[in-house]
Amino acid sequence: MKRYFSLLLCSAAFTACAQQKVPTAEVQIKQALLAAPADKRAGATVYGYDANKEVVVLRKGTNELICLADNPFEAGFSAACYHRDLEPFMQRGRALRKEGKQGREIFDLREQEVKAGKLVMPKQPTTLFVYTAKDEDVEGGGGVKNGYLRYVVYVPYATAESTGLPLKPEGPAMPWIMDPGTHGAHIMISPPKQ
């Protein structure tokens, strides 16, 4: 009985900690929109997290942009916004991570699914914006200092030859192509960090 009571207390304490760790919807929305271009913020759909680590809709939008708040259960700060046509790709990645898959395994599974027609990638180039910071730079109330914004343009199956882009950056903010010839081919644009 004593052991059962201890487990019950530990479970309750964990749930309370998890609930305390998740920022309010207002804060999550504010932080998620840091990744969005200014003219897209007011109309963006925003996803965030609940105490059960589930992705939930915090705000329904009116434009083509979807923003995802920082995952409070992971180290570091990372908010992202992307074109709604990338949602099947992004959602599948979240589902695979929830299953415990990581990195290359997720990439390879999505590649197989795209080739099999089970996962559809956008036909036109689509953009992803990623805003990152260190945990210590996240302020109360939704502020983030010393954040870094980088840009990604997905162009499935594009290559260095089809785009004229190099396979690695050769100068500050120079665009380059990553994962060429795959479903996840994308143009990387990483401004210099200040």
pLDDT number for residue 176:
97
Q: How many domains does the chain have?
A: 1
Query: Does residue 14 fall inside a structural domain?
Result: no
Structural domain span for residue 23: 19-189
- Complete edge-to-edge strand list for the sheet that includes strand 65-68: 55-59, 45-49, 65-68, 77-83, 126-133, 148-154, 186-189, 176-178
Using one digit for the tens of pLDDT, what is the confidence trace for 69-122?
999 999 999 999 999 999 999 999 999 999 999 999 999 999 999 999 999 999
Query: Does residue 86 fall inside a structural domain?
Result: yes
5 has a pLDDT exceeding 70: no
Using one digit for the tens of pLDDT, what is the confidence trace for 21-47?
899 999 999 999 999 999 999 999 999
Query: Does residue 2 fall inside a structural domain?
Result: no
> Contact 160/187 with Cβ under 8 angstroms?
no
57 has a pLDDT exceeding 50: yes
Query: Does residue 81 fall inside a structural domain?
Result: yes
Query: Does residue 94 fall inside a structural domain?
Result: yes
